Homo-oligomer: A and B are copies of this chain.
Amino acid sequence: MADVKKIKPGLSKGTRDFLPREVAKRNYIFDTIKSVFRKYGFEEIETPAIEKLETLTGKYGDEGDKLLFKILNSGDYLKDAPPALLQNPNAKDLQPYIAEKGLRYDLTVPLARYVVMYQDKLAFPFKRFHIGPAWRADRPQKGRYQEFYQCDADIIGSTSMICEAELTSICTEVFAKFGFGVKVRINSRKLLEALAEYAGCLALFAELTVCIDKLDKIGFGGVKGELVKLGLSEEQIEKITSLLESNSLTDLTVALGNSEMGGKGLAEVNYVLQKAGSPAVEFDLTLARGLNYYTGIIWEVVLDKNNDALKNISMGSLCGGGRYDNLTEIFGGQNMSGVGISFGIERIYDVMEELNLFPEAIAKGVKVLFVPRGPEMEEFTFKQVQAVREAGISAEIFLGNVKKQKHFKYLEDKNIQYMVEVGSDEQATGAYRLRNALSRETKEGLSLEHLIKQLSQG
């Protein structure tokens, strides 16, 4: 390494490092969610970060294709490009010849590939969870990264509405564990389809949902404007927006209850509301979810704005999902219905941080720091530390500069509860002083045996 020129250390745009305390907090979030997933019988899987581009391309729309990170082929990556193209290369035409692999864009397309590849080895209905990074070449901005974690649970191969009931229950249970109030908004894509049918614009269903999806951002005025642009008449727009504004299941039952699609959608929503039996779960017709592969119940979890502590926190969806069909078809699998939810762990982290909800215990370091009073005491101190560790107690020996009192900062930085200084006196007498770093209380004259007993209890 010696002859390499020095460089200023920096991160690639849109990526992050995590300090130990941040990792501890993120692990707390992951572990909490995992424990609920496992309680409901979801099993963890893993898929690689690198996928063939043919697996990824075309699954996320044109915009998504542009946001895929593509990996340059190894070695002479130009060797397969047609000579004519190399005469006058352009990025778009050249790319398929020089890059065959990419980084996964989400965990859903890899799941579809996985289910088809291992269908003989999996227990169906297949309930899996997967927590891991995904990558998108989005323009980085506050809260949006090019490398970010996804945290998904899906059930593949069952059309039972019990799946929806379970996933709703998982949502409420997870956020109850985190300790802040949320609303679990639900809707059915079938109701939105019935709404389009009711307004006589079923052919524009996909466009309509995209409009409704923007409601939070552009308001009803904006949505009306967009619907005009789609070519809808005033009467059609009135039919749509009045139902959206009333947002009432009673009104919807009157308007859509007689259509087949409307009836199904109402049944779905009523079923989930009834099974949830929680005031946190609410119907919301204005919930649309942009992705047009959803076909049934859709979810979105948001902060409960009726809760005073949360009123002033501006934060988007903390969890979302829905039922989709034909996930596996593209990989040659049989038609299997799927339904899943995805937790937005970066946002959950920000809310927890804002409300100071992380339990103190998760940032704790080892139980005790042994501080040798100078390098000549290190060997003897190490022996005591090893004895403490052998008793199953986490412990450290401080190897920094004791003369400069650096051990106090170390104790604080690593959130270590107890400290024992070891000098020639302690070595001679075998009696130690245990100091509680927080309360500053001390216990004197403890033998190593008593020290271990004390630490095992405290």
Interface residues of A (CB under 8 A from B): 1-2, 4, 6-12, 15-20, 22-24, 26-27, 38-41, 43-52, 54-55, 58-59, 66-67, 69-72, 74-79, 86, 88-91, 94-95, 98-101, 103, 112-114, 116-118, 121-125, 127-128, 133, 135, 137, 146-147, 155, 157-158, 160, 162-163, 165-166, 169, 275, 293, 326, 329-333, 365-366, 375, 378-379, 382, 386, 389, 392-397, 399-400, 406, 409-410, 413-414
Closest CB of chain B to A158's CB: distance in Å?
A: 4
Q: How far is the CA of A389 from the CA of B246 in the complex (A)?
A: 36
Q: How far is the CA of A55 from the CA of B13 in the complex (A)?
A: 13
Is the pair B72, A17 in contact by a Cβ cutoff of 8 Å?
no
8 examples of A-B residue contacts, CB within 8 angstroms: A7-B54, A9-B332, A19-B45, A19-B118, A41-B365, A48-B147, A49-B147, A127-B396
Instruction: Choose from B98, B137, B365 the contact partner of A74 (Cβ within 8 Å).
Output: B137
Q: How far is the CA of A103 from the CA of B133 in the complex (A)?
A: 13
- The 6 closest A-B CB pairs, nearest first, are A41-B396, A15-B48, A20-B43, A123-B413, A9-B331, A18-B46
The verdict on A117 contacting B1 (CB below 8 Å), with A78-B91, A125-B399, A399-B158 known, is no
Is the pair B72, A12 in contact by a Cβ cutoff of 8 Å?
no
Q: Which residues of B contact A326 (CB under 8 A)?
A: 1-2
Q: Which residues of B contact A75 (CB under 8 A)?
A: 66, 91
Is the pair A45, B71 in contact by a Cβ cutoff of 8 Å?
no
Q: How far is the CA of A26 from the CA of B12 in the complex (A)?
A: 29
Is the pair B52, A11 in contact by a Cβ cutoff of 8 Å?
yes
Q: How far is the CA of A158 from the CA of B58 in the complex (A)?
A: 52
Instruction: Choose from B19, B41, B162, B410 the contact partner of A378 (Cβ within 8 Å).
Output: B162
